[in-house]
């Protein structure tokens, strides 16, 4: 159950961030409203998750996975150039999430 809630929270967080980018600094109405709704959904889901798991574990895994997804989406859809430092960073995030999971987090 916690993995499904986490996946939904990541989806809401990623959606909210992408909508912020599309809102042009909150000058475009619909992406702005959508981002607020997506972030509200992420907050509700994270609130449920911290009832089941330690808050540090939830937040670290949520932000790590969302950051990786956003890096990939940014590269694929917005043409962001990724260097070797990005690859090292992603590797470190994956290693950290793996260590958290082996520590009994999720």
Angle of helix 55-78 relative to helix 84-102, nearest 10 degrees? Answer: 150
pLDDT per residue as tens digits for the range 60-83 = 899 999 999 999 999 999 988 889
For residue range 26-51, what is the model confidence (pLDDT) as tens digits?
A: 999 999 999 999 999 999 999 999 99
Work out how many domains the chain is built from and give that number: 1
Nearest-5° angle of CA 84, CA 89, CA 91?
95
Q: Dihedral of CA 17/21/25/30: which sign?
A: negative
Q: What percent of the chain has pLDDT over 90?
A: 72
Q: Which domain holds residue 80?
A: 2-102
pLDDT for 35 equals: 98
Dihedral angle computed from the Cα positions of residues 57, 63, 65 and 68, in that order, rounded to the nearest 10 degrees: -150
pTM: 0.87
Structure tokens at 49: 């998750």
End-to-end CA distance of the chain: give it in Å, rounded. Answer: 10
Band (pLDDT 50/70/90 cuts) for residue 98 is: confident
How high is the pLDDT of residue 104? 61
């Amino acid at each position: 159950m916690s993995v499904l809630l986490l996946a939904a929270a990541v989806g809401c967080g990623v959606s909210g961030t992408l909508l912020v980018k599309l809102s042009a600094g909150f000058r475009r109405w619909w992406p702005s409203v959508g981002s607020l709704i997506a972030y509200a959904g992420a907050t509700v889901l994270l609130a449920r998750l911290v009832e089941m798991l330690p808050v540090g574990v939830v937040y670290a895994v949520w932000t790590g996975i969302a950051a990786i997804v956003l890096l990939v989406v940014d590269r694929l859809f917005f043409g962001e150039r990724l260097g070797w430092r990005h690859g090292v960073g992603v590797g470190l995030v994956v290693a950290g999430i793996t260590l958290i999971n082996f520590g009994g987090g999720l």
